[in-house]
């Protein structure tokens, strides 16, 4: 039978995967996706807790997280597009005009 830990562990793994994505990928778009992945992991945690605490607060919170995620994606992609227009590159590691 499935316990809370299962879900938490699963979400933790997802979260780590998301971070890994951010760390390893160069493609800006996919970096953004990995961020989404992290948020989703959090969502899973929330839902799991809300189930086991039997409180709906977590689910509500998740809805808001989704809103935020959507917004971030929108803006992020917009920036990605405009950067691609200007530099012709979508490689995160190329974006280092400013340093030191």
Partner 1 sequence: METVMFYILGAITVASAFCVVLIRRPIHNVLFMILTMIGLAGLFILLHAEFVAMVQLIVYAGAVMVLFLFVIMLLNLDELRLAGDPGGGRWWLGVLIMQIVLAMLIPVLAYFGTSAPADAAKITTPSNTTVVARELFTTYLLPFEIASVLLLAAMIGAVILVRKND
Partner 2 sequence: MTLPDINLGGILPALVLCITGVVLMIVGLFLTWQRLAISMAISLAGILVAFAANAPLRLLHESAFSGMVALDPYSWFLNWMILLAAALTVLMSVKYFSDEGLDLYEYFVLLLFASAGMMFMVSGTHLLVIFVGLETLSISIYVLAGCLPANVKSKESALKYLILGGFSSAIFLYGAALLYGTAGSLALADLAKFFHSGTIAPTAKVGMGLLLIGFAFKAAAVPFHMWTPDVYEGAPTPLTGFMAVGVKAAAFAAFVRVFFGALPELQASWSQILWLVAVLTMILGNFAALVQENIKRMLAYSSIAHAGYILVGMVGGGDAGASGVLYYLLAYTFTNLGAFAVVALVGRKGEANNMLDDYRGLARTHPALAVAMSVFIFSLAGIPPTAGFMGKFSIFYAAVKAGHVWLVVIGVLTSAASVFYYFRVLMKMYMEAPEREPAPLQFGAGTVIALVVALVGVLYIGIFPKTYLDLALMSVQPLF
Partner 3 sequence: MIDLVWLIPLFPLIGFLINGTMGKEFPEKLIGWIGAVCVGASFVVACLILLELIAMEPGSRSVQVTVYTWMLSGDLQVPIAFLIDPLSMVMLLVVTGVGCLIHVYSIGYMHGEIGFRRFFCYLNLFVVSMLLLVSANNFLLLFVGWEGVGLCSYLLIGYYYEKKSASDAGKKAFVVNRIGDFGFLIGIFLIFTHFGTLNFTEVFAKATDVFAYGGVVVTLTTLCLFVGATGKSAQIPLYTWLPDAMEGPTPVSALIHAATMVTAGVYMVARCSVLFALAPSSMTVVAVIGGATAFYAATIGITQYDIKRVLAYSTVSQLGYMFLACGVGAFGSGIFHLMTHAFFKALLFLAAGSVMHAMAGELDMRLMGSLKKKLPYTHGTYLVGTLAITGIPFLAGFFSKDEILYYSFEKHIGFWLLGAVAALMTSFYMFRSLYMTFYGKSRVPAHIHVHESPALMTIPLIVLAVGSALAGFLNIPVFHGLNNFAQFLDPVFAPAKEIIEHGHAHGHNVTLEVGLACVSVLIAVVGLLLARYMYIVDPSAPGRVIEHHPNIHETVYNKYWIDEIYDTVFVNSIVRASRWLWRFVDEKIVDGIVNGVASVAILFGSGLRRLQTGLVKDYALSILIGVVAVIGYLVLR
Q: Phi and psi dihedrals of 61, rounded to 5?
A: -55, -45
Buried-exposed string 61-79: b where 16+ CB fall within 10 A, e elsewhere? bbeeeeeebeeebeebeee
Closer to partner 3 at the Cβ: 33 or 92?
92
When asked if residue 22 is in the footprint of partner 3 (CB under 8 A), the reply is yes
| Sole binder of partner 3 in the list 23, 41, 50, 51 (CB under 8 A) | 23
Min dist CB 12 to partner 3, Å, is 12
Q: Which of 69, 83, 74 is nearest to 18 (CA)?
A: 69
Closer to partner 3 at the Cβ: 20 or 55?
20
Positions that interact with partner 3 (CB under 8 A): 19, 22-23, 31, 92-93, 95-100
């Amino acid at each position: 039978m499935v316990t809370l830990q299962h879900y938490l562990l699963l979400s933790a793994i997802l979260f780590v995967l998301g971070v890994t994505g951010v760390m390893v990928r160069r493609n800006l778009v996919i970096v953004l996706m990995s961020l989404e992945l992290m948020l989703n992991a959090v969502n899973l945690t929330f839902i799991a807790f809300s189930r086991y605490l039997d409180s709906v607060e977590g689910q509500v919170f998740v809805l808001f997280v989704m809103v935020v995620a959507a917004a971030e994606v929108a803006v992020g992609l917009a920036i990605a597009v405009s950067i691609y227009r200007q530099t012709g590159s979508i490689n995160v590691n190329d974006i280092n005009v400013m340093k030191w």
